Amino acid sequence: MNNVLKQIYANNVVETVDGTKIKLEDNIPMGEGLFLQDIINSLKPANSLEVGFAYGTSTLFICESLEMVNAKKHLLIDPYQRTLWKGIGIKNIKEAGYENIIELIEEPSELALPKLLENKTHIDFAFIDGWHTFDQTLLDFYYINRMLNLNGVVAFDDTDWSSIYKVCCYVSRYPCYRVLSYWPERKDEPVWFEIAMTAFYKATALYKAANKSRYLENDLTIHRRRCVAFQKVQADTRNYDWFQEF
């Protein structure tokens, strides 16, 4: 692990350019960062993209592995890096020595992503951790799907949020995607929890719809995870009227 990440997790603080220390309230867990690294180390993407930059902790994990697999470029989309986040993400990336691999786009994703698509951008890996409403996250995925190469991977952060979980349920219906992996494994949860959740789903109309569509297992698999990764296993050839309940 690079020294910048070590210091951040050891002290649970980040520093502004002038040395002001800011305590981290909601940082990406180290386990999730290592999870993303495992995906990148296996996938070996040439070009990647991340929606949401903030203090740059997830980016540090991602870029560390991207450098190891000789990736070309990592696109970052965050309109608030120099205002809300006080340039801390940029500072951390420079201190870690990854500035040569990143390209920061300081625009909202709903404006930046269509431009990237228009410029025929292609990516092999994407991490979505931007504005967390259902519609915004789905919009981010819509454009990323059109740029993602075959066998590429898109991972969603905070999938234990209801809004992001719903997007993941919808993505799991796409014929061209499969759930690749997820974090955490939930090894610390009692067996009765899964039994109770299954019973709950079976007692609701959701079970009937999910069972009919053969997606109940996927929904239970990704339920209450923190991060879920999907792999694009074939071209997106859905018809104009395609729809699956989710």
The residues spanned by each domain of the chain are: 3-186+225-232
Question: What architecture (CATH level 2) is domain 3-186+225-232?
Answer: 3-Layer(aba) Sandwich (3.40)
SS3 per-residue string spanning the chain = CCHHHHHHHHHCEEECCCCCEEECCCCCCHHHHHHHHHHHHHHCCCEEEEECCCCCHHHHHHHHHHHHCCCCEEEEECCCCCCCCCCHHHHHHHHHCCCCCEEEECCCHHHHHHHHHHCCCCEEEEEECCCCCHHHHHHHHHHHHHHEEEEEEEEEECCCCHHHHHHHHHHHHCCCEEEEEEECCCCCCCHHHHHHHHHHHHCCHHHHHHHHCCCHHHHHHHCCCCEEEEEECCCCCCCCCCCCCC
Q: What is the percent of the chain with per-residue pLDDT over 90, rounded to a whole number?
A: 73
The pLDDT tens digits of the residues spanning 11-62 come to 999 988 888 898 988 789 999 999 999 999 999 999 999 999 999 999 999 9
What mean pLDDT do residues 191-198 have? 60
* pTM metric for this prediction: 0.88
Average pLDDT score, the chain: 90
